[in-house]
Structure 1
Amino acid sequence: MNDQADSAVRCVRNVDALKNLPPEIRQPGTTVWVKGYYEEGDPGGKFVRFVSDSKAADNGGTVHAPADGGAGRWLTIHDGVGRYRYFGIFGTDRQADDALDAMANDETIYKIEADSDLNFARRHRMNRSRLVMEFNGFTVRTDGIEDAPENDPFAAVLFFQGLLTGLTQSLVLTEPLAEMSELFEVSDSSAFAVGEWWIVQSNALSGGAERELEKLIRVTEIVDATHVRFNYKNGWELAPGRTVTYKKAIPVEQVSVRNMRFIGAGSTDKTGSHPLAYEFAVECDAVGINAYGTFWPVVMRRYCTHYVTERCNLTNPVEVVIGGTGYLTQQIYCLYGHVRDCQTSNGRHLNDFTGSAYCYVDNCHCDGDDLGAFVTHGQYEHDLTYVGNSGLMSFANSGPTWGESAKRITVKKHVASWFLAFRKVTDLTLEDVHVFVRKGVENSANTGSFWLNPDGVQMKNCTAEAMVKFMQVSARSERPNVIENSSFALTQGRRLSHENVEAELSFRNCRFAGIDGNRFAGTGKLSFRDCLLEGASAEASALRVEGSAFSFHGGTMTNTGVVLTGAGDRQVEIGTGAAVSGTNAGKAFFEREEPGTGSTDWRFFNCVSRAADAETSHYRIEAGRNTYLSTGSRFEGGRFAVADGAFEDGGHMLHATNVEKGVDRSGLPGENDSIRHGSNNLIINEKKVTHED
């Protein structure tokens, strides 16, 4: 045995020399070192071996056929990693499309690496799994790329798409498909097997795309003849009689694209370009894609699950006005996704969820975000979490076509110029969210504002520089609407709640600054505990309230007050350490604008009211149906203003065990069986103190 002879390796100058080796050298297993692709020493050097029975097509990189047409092929020796330089591609002067197709279609290659900048002129659709495309930070260009189909956001340079098998099953539910249940009713469970993937879809409602259920989910258990367990807890209950359809899919799995700098080309839906799309995909990641000048989303996803999009950026896309354009990532019917450490500049949306659930977005940031950095379409999204991001937010705000609905969205440690969640957003949780005024932009008048649906909304530690307002369009939640430890600066005359708000709003330890004619126009109850209400000045108009009940416990009101508006019975309760002081434009802390349109119940207990001048009334009670109770309170300065006839029709007044200092009592009515205010009070005047009993 000649070990020295066996270890000898034949060398050739380049690929042409390899292809022209004579037949006597083309022996099974012969190994050749190719010193360069075009010439000796260029980056295309590689080892090849001869396989005499191979009939694979010559692809110019991993398969080379003899120039004389003889049998067999020279196959590039690799360890599962394909490289564009095997194909003689060392830069953008040669299109990389054929090389990409050759490597992606080779099941022995599990990773494709770029060693230089590349240019692609075709849009590639692939359905293979277990592939890593590593671009190593090199630039991908698309100069001269072929036109895309009209209005096709999946016409990316790299489109990985699973398959629908054609196997379907539909049924009309005979029982509720319960919320938070992973047990689904099917017509025949024998068609399903553990580990399979299926698209599940409910029938549309009145909106053309209004579906509560549409996801790619995996079978985890066959329970019985008509029930299958999936890896998804249903987010919205479906009632008996609704139609559910299942479609079997074979997804692409574990395909990731990494570390690419992408330069788009063109400015229309046909000529524009974007790097990556996934459909029917599982565990397919996008990492380190930095894109410029794209048209459709940088990372487009539909029916994806268990994925990560991280360290991706988008700068200055060519179009941001047309729907779907200028996104960093759009995710339709997706589950269990994680978007993190991403950024956009002057784009439309950084992150868009449509019909998606159980996803997490963190440490993502936007500048030039006036069109909305973080959005959902409102196609029944649920259980989405955002932490530590910055940029304008808008949830469920794309119109009735999709249903305008979302549920259990949580946002923490966020900074934005505008926050919109005023459609059917249920059980919204906000913590440490701060909105600021941004001048010189199209929506500058609305920046610095929260717009919220009071349907289980809960806020903690939030601030707004211009406004918070509530617009109720749904009442699905069992949670109270509670806002605590938050601070809101207000814009003169703007509504704090719209007329459609019937839900109760509870504020705890909150500050409202700059009150001047602002109003709660809804009919729901208002509750303030340990809050600060501050008028813009001593000449500012008081807060206008149409709700059926207003309570203020603890806290302070300064240079403002409450004007009850509208028809119907009303209740005002001020107590438990509340302090009212200063004055306002109406010269009354509490009054009713239209007293003849309903009864009013006035309650003051254990509170302090200090008027800044003699003209300011602690309360102004006009003729009508009123009841009044004040105990344990302190009134200083100013006056009491109660009209004759204020306590007719069964009304009454009890003003007892209070302290009055320098209060003008001339506006109080005469006492009778139902009016008592002179006895059991400590009345302190400038010259004397009297204890009337």
Structure 2
Amino acid sequence: MIQLSNLEELLAYRPSSKDDGQLVYVSGYHQEGDGGGKLVRWIACSAKDDNGGTVHDPGLGGSGRWETVHNGEGDFRWFGIFGPVQHADDALDAMVNDSSIHRIEAHTDLNFIRRHTYDRSHIELNFYGHTVTTEGIELNTKSNPFGAVIFFQGKATGVTQTVTLSAELPEQTDVLEVFESSAFEVGDWWIARVNNNPEGRAQRELDYLLQITEIIDRTHVRVNYKLGWALAPGREITYTKMNPVFRSHVRNMNFIGVPVPENGSTTEQPFDHWDRLGSHPIAYEFAVECNVADVKAAKVFWPVIERRYCTHYVTERCRLINPEEVIWGGTGYLTQQLNVLYGHVRDCHTSNARHLNDFTCAAYCMVENCHGDGDEHGSFVTHGQYEHDLTYIGNSGLLSFANSGTTWGDSAKRITVKKHVGSRVVAHKRITDLTLEDVHAVWKEGLVDSGTIWANADGLQMRGCTADTMLTLSQSSSRSKRGNLADGCSFGMTKDAEIARRPGVPHAGFRPVISDFVMQNCKVHNVDNNVIGSINRLVLINTWFIGASPEASPVRVGCAEVIVQGGGSVNSGMELTGVFDPAVTGTPDQSITVDSGTSFRGTNAGKAFLKSSNTEGIVTWVFGDCKSSAPDAETAHFSIQGGCNKLRAVGSRFSGGRYEVAAGSFGSGSYLLMTACIEEGVNRSSLPMESDVVKHEVGIMILS
């Protein structure tokens, strides 16, 4: 073997015709030991283009090249790249496009001035923590988050097929109808895309890159995905055969983008090519098992890691701090993921970014131990394009689900969030079977609506959750088979705020709750003139409403039925105002049942624990095992302001205060029965005179 000091000596060496296959060890690129050393072989018949690193043309004319001998691991230093002074674009192209190289290593900082698109599979780019910059990078194309420095993109084969469904495809099926299965083979990858619903151009429940796992019959194939949404007969599915990118990974990069002028507007660009100036490191499209790890980024424009039609991937230990833009849609994300399956994002962090994790039309994905600060724009979001079966565990930052408008569908299903802390939870669109466990919305000074949970009561289940300033329930969908439940939660309230939205009052995206709701072992505190403006049947089990002060106003209730079992109120109470929307039940009637050791104590601005101002419908009152303790003579245990009432009190305890009943409240169709009750110092002077339908003296133990 011949040994030479550097590349200059190699190019000056003149091999003879008999030297074909001669090995030469070059000790350095510029000088011995500079890191650019390599083993090369003389290939007499080679006519490859000189690329400055793996192929060297000594300039003899005709064929004959020095080609680098390697074990599949490439090095930028082979090309004389020893830092950001020399642009690394040509070297990157040469190595990625060399199928004999499966791993590319950077051992110095690098600068790129071009945006590279590759369809290469089975390669790893490892930057070993060195800094990648893009000083002088070419302009991006307009509105293009895929114009990354490194973009791996699979290719369409040109084969397509469209079928009109002859029968419903039920939820959770993995067998799809096709026009002719002979075009499909096990192991093929196809994009399956259903035509959009008419309400929005992107309202598609099925739009994924799927693998064929079985040919069932002439018109059916099995795929590696179970549908999250049923598809009705008559819907069209278009299949496009793809050649994805497989297992092309990027690791250990410290990326710093280039400055972009401030936008200052959410609707207009400051000048025409403003959104083409910035840079970002990584994008994937039509990719399988392509992972990204240990990428740190700052000053990016579009997302650090952009993905579309990807499956079976991991993004881990990545960070973004201070992106260049966060207002313009799509900018300033750590990762945006469109039409993805089986993704796993973990151990990531953002500071002052738009979104840490964005899902659009995603399914069966998990996000864990990820944290966003400076998160006013929302660390964790979904756009509502029929996402389903997403899990978030041990994260922190603002949550916003299915909240991007009807263009996408405003829909999601089976999202589970566990052990989460953030400034807000926004989940009031058509989100079915949302599960929140140990989730905490914490008030943050200066952030509007912080400390709040807005949730769609369609299979909503909350356990061990807290909201510092407000829980607001609404209902925009009725898809779930399970009930709505809050268990072991604590909700602080803001004065005059709605706990459940009222019908007939304009709220963007908020609709009244027409389903039932159960709250058990909960505490609602700082209550003052709050409104439960809807909910058909509200069940309160061992749940307390605690007023902000003895001067706070009670809760105004528009539920058709309220059942209170245990718990009760302190310096608060309930006023039955009538069902705000008679269409919910067909009648403005209301009922309230108080039993199982419920307790009322303290007082409130309305001077009544339970009050009815509903004079349009029939109000039914049922008092069982409960204790009502008024602190003064003015506070009423119940206050009935007219209308038609049916009251039964059996085995209840009342002390202090008074009963308040307006004249005419127990007329035709009404009744009042009080028996086996204990009264201690109660002013009962406003009770109506006894009659065939009014009984309140026999069986009552009256104590002074």
TM-score over 0.5 (shorter chain): yes
2:516 to 498, 504, 517: 504
d(CA) in 2 for partners of 1:35, 1:281? 39
Kept in 2, the 8 Å contact 1:20–1:67? The answer is: no
Q: For the Cα contact (< 8 Å) 1:413–1:432, is it kept in 2?
A: yes
Q: Moved runs in structure 1, 4+ residues, more than 6 A?
A: none
Partners of 1:660 and 1:177 lie apart in 2 by 63
Q: Which runs of 5+ in 2 are unaligned?
A: 261-273, 503-511, 580-587
- Residue 526 of structure 2 is aligned with which of 514, 523, 542? 514
1:49 Cα deviation from its structure 2 partner: 1.0
How far off is 1:78 after superposition?
A: 0.8
Tell me, yes or no, if structure 1 residue 569 matches structure 2 residue 586. Answer: no
1:594 alignment partner, one of 599, 614, 639: 614
1:646 aligns with 2:662: no
Q: Which amino acid aligns with 2:520?
A: R
Match 2:476 to one of 467, 473, 476: 473
Deviations, residues 420-466 of structure 1 (Å, cap 9, x unaligned): 001111100000000111112xxx23100001111110000000110
Distance in 2 between the 1:26 and 1:298 partners? 52
2:72, 2:100 within 8 Å by CA — same for their partners in 1?
Answer: yes
CA contact (8 A) 2:17 2:44 kept: no
- Whether 1:556 and 2:568 are equivalent positions in the alignment is yes
Q: How do 1:62-141 and structure 2 match up within 5 A?
A: 62-141=54-133
Range with bigger deviation, 416-425 or 39-48 = 39-48
Q: Is 1:490–2:493 an aligned residue pair? A: yes
The answer to whether residue 224 in structure 2 is matched with residue 231 in structure 1 is: yes
C-alpha deviation, 1:26, in angstroms: 6.6
Match in the other structure for 1:33 = 25
Q: Alignment partner of 1:589: what SS?
A: strand
The one-letter code sitting in structure 2 at the alignment partner of 1:81 is E
Query: How do 1:280-295 residues align onto structure 2 when only pairs under 5 Å count?
Result: 280-295=286-301
- Find the aligned partners of 2:13 and 2:484 in 1 and give their Cα distance: 81
Is residue 614 of structure 1 aligned with residue 633 of structure 2? yes
- Deviations along 1:181-214, one digit per CA (max 9) or x if unpaired, are 1010111011100000000011011201111110
Contact 1:253 1:282 in 2 (8 A): yes
Q: 1:353 aligns with which of 359, 381, 393?
A: 359
What is the Cα deviation at residue 40 of structure 1? 3.1
Q: CA deviation at 1:57?
A: 1.2
Structure 1 CA distance, aligned partners of 2:410 and 2:347? Answer: 28
> How far apart, CA to CA, are the structure 1 residues paired with 2:663 and 2:674?
16
2:9 partner SS: helix
Residue aligning to 2:462: 459
Q: Is the 8 A contact 1:353 1:376 kept in 2?
A: yes
1:523, distance to aligned residue in structure 2 (A):
4.7
- Matched residue SS, 2:276: coil
Given candidates 544, 549, 566, the residue that maps to 1:537 is 549
The structure 1 residue matched to 2:431, chosen from 413, 425, 434, is 425
Q: What's the counterpart of residue 172 of structure 2?
A: 180
Distance 1:623 1:21 in 2: 109
Q: Quick one: which amino acid aligns to residue 318 of structure 1?
A: E
Q: Distance in 2 between matches of 1:643 and 1:295?
A: 67
- Corresponding residue for 1:4? none
- 1:51 Cα deviation (Å)? 1.5
- Partner deviation per Cα, 1:344-383 (whole Å, 9 max, x = no partner): 0000000000001000000000110000000000000000
Q: Does 1:58 align with 2:77?
A: no
What is the CA–CA distance in structure 1 between the aligned matches of 2:298 and 2:549, rounded to whole Å? 49
**Displacement after TM superposition at 1:289 (Å):** 0.3
Letter of the 2:692 partner, please give it: D
Offset of residue 48 of structure 1: 0.7
Write the distance in 1 (CA, Å) between the matches of 2:641 and 2:530. 22
Q: Specify the SS of the correspondent of 1:317.
A: coil
| Deviation readout 1:89-119 (Å, 9 max, x if unpaired) | 1111100000000000111100000010001
CA distance in 2, matches of 1:387, 1:353: 15
State which of 200, 203, 206 in structure 2 corresponds to 1:210: 203
CA distance in 1, matches of 2:567, 2:81: 72
* Contact 1:10/1:31, CA 8 A, preserved across alignment: yes
CA RMSD, Structure 1 to Structure 2 (Å) = 1.0
State the alpha-carbon separation in 2 of the partners of residues 548 and 40 from structure 1.
87
Q: How far 1:25 sits from its partner (Å)?
A: 7.4
Amino acid at match of 1:370: E
Q: State the distance in 2 between where 1:425 and 1:123 align.
A: 38
Q: Deviations over 1:381-412 (max 9, x none)?
A: 00000000000000000011101100000000
User: What is the CA-CA distance between 1:503 and the residue it aligns to?
Assistant: 1.5
SS in 2 for 1:33: strand
**In structure 2, what residue type is equivalent to 1:254?**
R
C-alpha distance in structure 2 between counterparts of 1:161 and 1:241, whole Å: 32
Separation (CA, whole Å) in 1 of partners of 2:448 and 2:686:
44
Post-superposition offset of 1:24: 2.3
Q: Are the counterparts in 1 of residues 424 and 450 from structure 2 also a CA contact under 8 Å?
A: yes
Q: Alpha-carbon deviation of 1:666?
A: 0.9
The one-character-per-residue Cα deviations of 1:292-328 (angstroms, maximum 9, x if unpaired) are 1000000000000000000000000000000000000
Which residue matches 2:598? 578
Q: How many residues are paired up?
A: 673
Q: Which amino acid in 2 is paired with 1:174?
A: S
User: Partners of 2:99 and 2:514 in 1: how far apart?
Assistant: 61
Q: Out of 634, 640, 648, which is 1:629 matched to?
A: 648
Q: Quick one: which amino acid aligns to residue 173 of structure 2?
A: S
Task: Check the 8 A contact 1:20/1:68 in 2, yes or no.
Answer: no
Q: What CA deviation, in whole Å up to 9, does each residue of 1:507-533 have, x standing for no partner?
A: 010000011000011152211000111
Q: Hey, what's the Cα distance between the residues in 2 that align with 1:346 and 1:86? A: 39
- Aligned counterparts of 1:258 and 1:622: Cα–Cα separation in 2: 71
CA distance, structure 2, for counterparts of residue 346 and residue 396 of structure 1: 22
Question: Is 1:408 the counterpart of 2:414 in the alignment?
Answer: yes
Superposition deviation, residue 71 in structure 1: 2.4
Instruction: Give how far 1:476 is off.
Output: 1.0
Task: Give a deviation string over 1:149-185, Cα, whole Å, max 9, x none.
Answer: 0111000000000001111111110000110110101
CA contact (8 A) 1:26 1:50 kept: no
Aligned residue number for residue 282 of structure 2: 276
Separation of aligned partners in 2, 1:649 and 1:168? 73
Partner of 2:585: none
Shift of 1:566: 3.1
8 Å contact from structure 1 (residues 304, 335) kept in 2: yes
Secondary structure of residue in 1 paired with 2:414: strand
Question: Which shows bigger deviation, 492-501 or 540-549?
Answer: 492-501
Deviation at 1:16, TM superposition (A): 2.2
Q: Which amino acid aligns with 2:88?
A: A
Percentage of identical aligned residues: 51
Q: 1:316 aligns with which of 317, 322, 326?
A: 322
Find the aligned partners of 1:219 and 1:577 in 2 and give their Cα distance: 60
Structure 2 counterpart of 1:569, which letter?
D
CA distance in 1, matches of 2:592, 2:363: 43
Residue 265 of structure 1 pairs with residue 258 of structure 2: yes
Residue identity in the other structure for 1:678: E
Q: What CA deviation, in whole Å up to 9, does each residue of 1:558-601 have, x standing for no partner?
A: 11111011351000111111011111111111111232x10000
CA distance in 2, matches of 1:233, 1:70: 58
Partner of 1:3: none
Counterpart of 1:524? 536
3-state SS in 2 of match to 1:492: coil
Q: SS where residue 19 of structure 1 aligns? A: helix
Give unpaired runs (5+ residues) of structure 1: 1-8, 686-693
Query: Aligned AA for 1:258?
Result: R
Contact 2:578-2:590 at 8 Å conserved across structures: no
For residue 14 of structure 1, report the CA deviation from its aligned partner: 1.6
